[in-house]
Structure 1
């Protein structure tokens, strides 16, 4: 494994390494909505949640301020991809039956976003702010080394907004009548390159690289590879899903 720069090759493709959400999530959101005409996914990235919503809604709009993210979003007959921010979504009044933000709301100007939500929401519409927490590896030794990297080595390089994700959005300002959320998790069987490719998409890893701390990344990759054994052997990984659901 010597000489492999995981954090250079993996960091280029957000869409390839960010986990999709469980299909049960989109189904539950559709059940909560009064109608299934139009869903809007704000800060959609490459469409990790957007694609699932298209199975349940007649029309889906994926919004993201990044052209690069949208270029990597796959075409779908029910999805319209648009470049727009959360604070100026450009939606018609009363047009959205569901408005979601997955792993994105902690970056928003929330009062401005919520003003847009209230304007765009149809009667009985649902808002869902979704996040997934820290990855857990089924192997105890791998998980312990991963948590040391997450908490102590990458930890100082996380932006302060990350605390909201770690807290499952419990501390997020949310001025809506709340709906109970289901207990869900994302589970995958991943190879070593997939785990490291996912880690490479983190903002803290980008900051580590910008700070010239390549030795921290190299040490983590080497330790994980030694504990993993055969890099092509899939191992179980999981993320707890948290959300705030509200009705307008």
Structure 2
């Protein structure tokens, strides 16, 4: 089993404050596919935003992460139990969960080992939902600046696993039955310039850049490049979201 990668503990506060939240339409679709609502596992829960929504529907929710710092920001509910555990090796009993969710995180896992763990803890009729999102789109001019920043400025500082996001997880396999879905989802939100800057500061590639370049942060230059194209106090940002469903 490969060594776990934790790129988000150091900026866990920024991650909670500036990362986008997932649309209710996504959850409604997932719930429509579930046959039972006894128990769910939100794997790599981070600050617990997914676990909190699952807690509105499932009797019991178990949420795990490798980062204590992330869990310190987690949303508390009576029916959510948080724990520090690796995705690939948990203390959950066999056949525990009706639904397992992994949001914007599975690309960090040891897939061969995680697949075995999922098969072990998923109930016979259970569902696995894995999703992520691409670059947010704002306007033609701003998108060009963001794309340049992504590829040319911090491109060499992304971990190798980032390629799975770009491939929308199509080359990851869990060894389960893949359920094809034609549903399209988007994360639509409004940002001011502070939120724009905060989001990019939460990127792992930005943190890697800063470490490699004597503390120099490339984000302020991006903000300056974008300012001339920013219209009004807030602008709409739309992130394309991709979802992959599996059943046992």
Q: Deviations over 1:20-62 (max 9, x none)?
A: 1111222222221221111101001002322221222111111
Q: Does 1:147 align with 2:147?
A: yes
Counterpart in the other structure of 2:189: 188
TM-score by length of 1: 0.90
Q: CA RMSD in A?
A: 1.7
CA shift for structure 1 position 215: 6.2
Q: Secondary structure of the residue that 1:130 maps to in structure 2? A: strand
How many angstroms apart in 1 are the aligned matches of 2:25 and 2:231? 33
Q: Is the 8 A contact 2:130 2:244 kept in 1?
A: yes
* Change in CA separation of 1:226 and 1:97 when aligned onto 2, cut-off 3 Å: same
Is residue 226 from structure 1 mapped to residue 232 from structure 2 by the alignment?
no
The superposition leaves residues 88-120 of structure 1 with CA deviations (integer Å, 9 ceiling, x where unpaired) of 121111110001111110000111111111111
How many aligned positions are there?
A: 236
- Deviation readout 1:106-155 (Å, 9 max, x if unpaired): 00011111111111111200011111111111x22111111111121111
Distance (Å, rounded) in 2 between the aligned partners of 1:170 and 1:106: 11
**For the Cα contact (< 8 Å) 2:177–2:247, is it kept in 1?**
yes
Which residue number corresponds to residue 7 of structure 1?
A: none
**C-alpha distance in 1, partners of 2:203/2:93?**
34
Could you say which residue in structure 2 is the equivalent of 1:161? 161
User: Which moves more between the two structures, 215-224 or 186-195?
Assistant: 215-224
Note the C-alpha offset of 1:229.
5.7
Task: Name the structure 2 match of 1:243.
Answer: 243
Which residue of the partner structure matches residue 100 of structure 1?
101
How far did residue 11 of structure 1 move? 7.4
What's the TM-score once normalised by structure 2's chain length?
0.90
Could you report, residue by residue, the CA deviation over 1:145-176 in whole angstroms, capped at 9, with x for unpaired residues? 11111121111111111110011111112321
> Aligned pair in 2 of structure 1 residues 38, 25: CA closer, same or farther (>3 Å)?
same
CA contact (8 A) 2:12 2:70 kept: no
Mapped to 1, the partners of 2:30 and 2:129 lie a distance apart of 8
Q: Helix, strand or coil for the counterpart of 2:83? A: strand
Contact kept, 8 Å, 1:27 with 1:56, in 2: the verdict is no
Contact 1:26/1:56 (<8 A) preserved: no
List alignment gaps of at least 5 residues for structure 2: 1-10
Asked if 1:134 is matched to 2:112, the reply is no
Match of 1:217 in 2: 219
Separation in 1, partners of 2:103, 2:171: 16
Q: Is the contact between residue 53 and residue 60 of structure 1 (CA under 8 Å) also seen in structure 2?
A: yes
